A = this chain, B = another copy of it.
Amino acid sequence: MPHTPSPGTLFVVATPIGNLEDITLRAIRVLREVGLVAAEDTRRTGRLLNHLGISTRTVSLHEHNEHDRALPLVERLLAGESIAVVTDAGTPLLSDPGRLLTAAAAARGIRVEPIPGPSAVLTALAGAGLEWSQFAFLGFTPTKQNARRAFYKQADALGLPFVVFEAPHRLRASLDDAALVLRPRPLVVCRELTKIYEEFVRTTTSQAVELFRVREVIGEFTLVFGAAEPVEDTREPHSDASIWAEVGRLTAAGRTRREAIAELARQEGRSSKDIYAAAERGKTAATPESSQA
């Protein structure tokens, strides 16, 4: 009976989105140890490997050759070789090359192991500092005006904060359409994430059009749209939790706790004692379950 080797592992490796220091210790080890790196752009990945002092061989795997390359790569995995798949930037998924290879490998029972790391979506959300517990990622906006307006209309209907990618030469047109179609909401325009000229412009859908009429528009953009209204308020208006949160916001802005409570009492038309009690209940009710997004 012929010897059957145990299959290799297909590692789905996240790579930097702009700053070459944004790579994990495990990603470096895996890229060094695998037999082959399947890369969207071998020159770009070659520069990263070179920077890291890694000499693993690369093979190109992009949308125009993935259909032909996936099967031979699956055969090599079945023969025992481990392979890493990377894209130009960030966490490989969505419409990126590699998805077909991942699906084919999983279907053959090959172990698929994601190596977490940078992603433009979560970097934008972490830097934006808006408030939410849920969000949607909607990819690039459509290039044509009609389609883009329909896109923003659908995005508005989701009722969630959402993140999109936008090309620099379409940014102004896209902000115009967003202002026209979306209910007014906070907007953080993220430029050149993790790069030298990284910037977070904290604005609103109403103000952004004017703001970017006079700003230079260069670089890669990720737009973070907040909720149309605070999500917690639509669910339970003036709840204990929202009063507790509001006390926190006011004290962080420089008020004493006493001043914050007095101010909220005026706004809510309730007594300070009442607001104090609500804030204490809101604090106690805060769930101890922490998310690990």
Chain A contacts to B: CB under 8 angstroms:
12, 14, 17, 19, 21-26, 29, 40, 63-64, 66-68, 70-71, 74, 87-97, 99-107, 112-127, 129-140, 158, 160, 165, 167, 193-194, 198, 200, 202, 220, 244, 247-249, 251-254, 257, 283, 286, 289-293
Which chain B residue has the least Cβ–Cβ distance from A248? B67
The CA of A220 and the CA of B289, in the complex, are separated in Å by 12
Main secondary structure of the interface of A (DSSP, over half): mixed
- When all copies of this chain in the complex are counted, the total is 2
Nearest CB of chain B from residue A9's CB, rounded to whole Å:
11
Query: What are 8 of the A-B contact pairs (CB < 8 Å)?
Result: A14-B122, A21-B29, A23-B25, A120-B292, A121-B122, A122-B122, A134-B136, A137-B137
The CA of A19 and the CA of B24, in the complex, are separated in Å by 11
| A91 and B122 form a contact (CB under 8 A) | yes
| B135 and A137 form a contact (CB under 8 A) | yes
Nearest CB of chain B from residue A235's CB, rounded to whole Å:
11
For A22, A40, A194, A283, the residue with the greatest tally of chain B CB atoms inside 10 Å of its CB is A22
The CA of A135 and the CA of B107, in the complex, are separated in Å by 22
Partner of A112, one of B93, B115, B127: B127
| B252 and A101 form a contact (CB under 8 A) | yes
Question: Which of chain B's residues have a CB closer than 8 A to the CB of A289?
Answer: 140, 167
Which chain B residue has the least Cβ–Cβ distance from A106? B129
Question: Which of chain B's residues have a CB closer than 8 A to the CB of A19?
Answer: 26
| B251 and A71 form a contact (CB under 8 A) | yes
Are A74 and B252 also in contact (CB < 8 A) when A21-B25, A64-B286, A160-B136 are?
yes
Partner of A291, one of B12, B66, B140: B140
Which chain B residue has the least Cβ–Cβ distance from A116? B118
Question: Which of chain B's residues have a CB closer than 8 A to the CB of A118?
Answer: 24, 116-117
